[in-house]
Amino acid sequence: MFEKVIGNSKIKEYLKTSIEQKKVSHSYLFIGIEGIGKKIIAKEFAKEMLCLSEKNCANTCKSCIEFESQNHPDFEIIEPDGNSIKIDQIREMQRKIQEKPIISDKKIYIINDSQKMTKEAQNCLLKTLEEPPEFAIIILIGSNESLFLDTIKSRCIILHFEPIDNNSLKKFIEDNYDIKNIDAETLKIFQGSIGKAIDLKDKISEYSQIEKMLKELDKKDLIEIVNMSKIIYDSKEEIYSILEYINVILLELSKLHYKYTKCINIVENTKERLKNNSNYDMCIDNMLFNMWGEVN
Ligand SMILES: [Zn+2]
């Protein structure tokens, strides 16, 4: 189990031991940033719990075969419907989870991106967490712990996933893609996330440009800054990754000089405005203008 998953060895060990010692809980909350293997680990964990073999199954039992072909009747992953996980989705799950398992002796539900459950959905889920059927296990996966009701959290075993260390991340990219000699600057772009590394590995030069622009924010005039920022105008699709990266660089700069601290707020405000569907180019212009004003 977990052989192919990088990082978070303590959590993997803990989950493995809890299966071996038959001390599995009814509800878990996996918390951590995107792209560090929470869902893969949850699925491997579920597969192992459902497995019918005593040991070394290697996908030979009925349960593992059904699991691999994504047909396991005792296992389901719930994903957000649009921007949220709605109360109807939770009600549906609650109805199904009461029915006895068919192949295995457990029934397992993963709720992915579960911080997107509406408050009503969370309150509804609470009933099942308080009195789960004896065979039921629920694994919540989320990136922002503060969005969960305390009552939910108190019912779950909470496991905090760590970002992947730079050495493992470097090895992963170099082993799997035709990219060699990744330096420390580039690793910063990935922020400890395998998911980010896969998404951004081909955009390393664009990200370096952004870093250069930020480091020269207090040396160039506004026109030059806007010219250097073409990459941001052209990257509407991945603007949130870029804004996060901008904040990583600003955080570094703010350790050298206090004046960069306020720029971080400006970036956060820009994120909010974009989420509220403000005009894209105008938001970016405002952000650059305000950041430039802060440091000059
Ligand atoms: Zn098996």
Which pLDDT does position 49 carry in this prediction?
95
Cα of 56 to ligand 1 centre, how many Å? 8
Cα of 59 to ligand 1 centre, how many Å? 5
Which pLDDT does position 186 carry in this prediction?
85
Cα of 65 to ligand 1 centre, how many Å? 7
Domains: count for the chain: 2
Cα of 270 to ligand 1 centre, how many Å? 49
The amino acid occupying position 74 is D
Cα of 66 to ligand 1 centre, how many Å? 9
Same-domain check for residues 149 and 189? no
Which of 16-30, 60-74, 82-96, 213-227 bottoms out in mean pLDDT, i.e. has the lowest? 213-227
Same-domain check for residues 151 and 183? no
Question: Which two structure tokens, joined as six digits, stand for 17?
Answer: 């031991």
Q: Give the contacts of 195 (CB within 8 A, at least 6 positions apart).
A: 34, 35, 36
Cα of 93 to ligand 1 centre, how many Å? 24
Distance CA 32, CA 36 (A): 8
Cα of 70 to ligand 1 centre, how many Å? 14
Distance CA 17, CA 100 (A): 26
Same-domain check for residues 17 and 156? yes
Has residue 4 been placed in a domain? no
Q: Taking residues 273-279, what's their average pLDDT?
A: 90
Cα of 133 to ligand 1 centre, how many Å? 23
Distance CA 214, CA 200 (A): 19
Same-domain check for residues 135 and 276? no
Domain of residue 291 covers 166-295
Cα of 69 to ligand 1 centre, how many Å? 13
Q: What is the mean pLDDT of the chain?
A: 93
Q: Taking residues 225-238, what's their average pLDDT?
A: 87
Cα of 1 to ligand 1 centre, how many Å? 11
Cα of 35 to ligand 1 centre, how many Å? 27
pLDDT, tens only, 245-274:
999 999 999 999 999 999 999 999 999 999
Q: Is 25 left (phi over 0), alpha (psi -120 to 50) or beta?
A: beta
Which residue stretches of 216-238 are H helix? 222-228, 230-233
Cα of 49 to ligand 1 centre, how many Å? 9
Has residue 114 been placed in a domain? yes
Query: Other C-beta atoms within 10 Å of 183: how many?
Result: 9
Which pLDDT does position 228 carry in this prediction?
82
Which pLDDT does position 152 carry in this prediction?
96
Q: Give the contacts of 114 (CB within 8 A, at least 6 positions apart).
A: 29, 85, 140, 141, 142, 148
Same-domain check for residues 113 and 221? no
Cα of 296 to ligand 1 centre, how many Å? 63
Please identify, among 114, 139, 160, the residue that sits at the C-terminal boundary of a domain.
160
Cα of 136 to ligand 1 centre, how many Å? 18
Cα of 28 to ligand 1 centre, how many Å? 22
Please identify, among 160, 194, 212, the residue that sits at the C-terminal boundary of a domain.
160
Q: 220, 242, 253: which is closest to 287 by C-alpha?
A: 242
Cα of 198 to ligand 1 centre, how many Å? 30
> Which H or E element spans position 261?
helix 261-275
Same-domain check for residues 115 and 241? no
Which pLDDT does position 206 carry in this prediction?
87
Distance CA 228, CA 236 (A): 16
Cα of 128 to ligand 1 centre, how many Å? 27
Same-domain check for residues 135 and 217? no
On the CB side of 65, CA atoms within 13 Å amount to 5
CA angle 152, 153, 157 (to 5 degrees): 120
Same-domain check for residues 148 and 228? no
Has residue 197 been placed in a domain? yes
Same-domain check for residues 24 and 154? yes
The pair phi, psi for residue 274, each rounded to 5°, is: -65, -40
What CATH code is carried by the domain that includes residue 56? 3.40.50.300
Cα of 282 to ligand 1 centre, how many Å? 55
Same-domain check for residues 152 and 181? no
Cα of 107 to ligand 1 centre, how many Å? 15
Question: Which two structure tokens, joined as six digits, stand for 220?
Answer: 């160039």
Q: pTM higher than 0.95 for the full model? A: no
Q: 173, 229, 230, 166: which is closest to 200 by C-alpha?
A: 173
Distance CA 271, CA 241 (A): 10
Cα of 139 to ligand 1 centre, how many Å? 20
Has residue 1 been placed in a domain? no
Query: Other C-beta atoms within 10 Å of 150: how many?
Result: 7
Please identify, among 115, 136, 160, the residue that sits at the C-terminal boundary of a domain.
160
The amino acid occupying position 118 is T
Adjacent-strand bridge partners of 27: 138
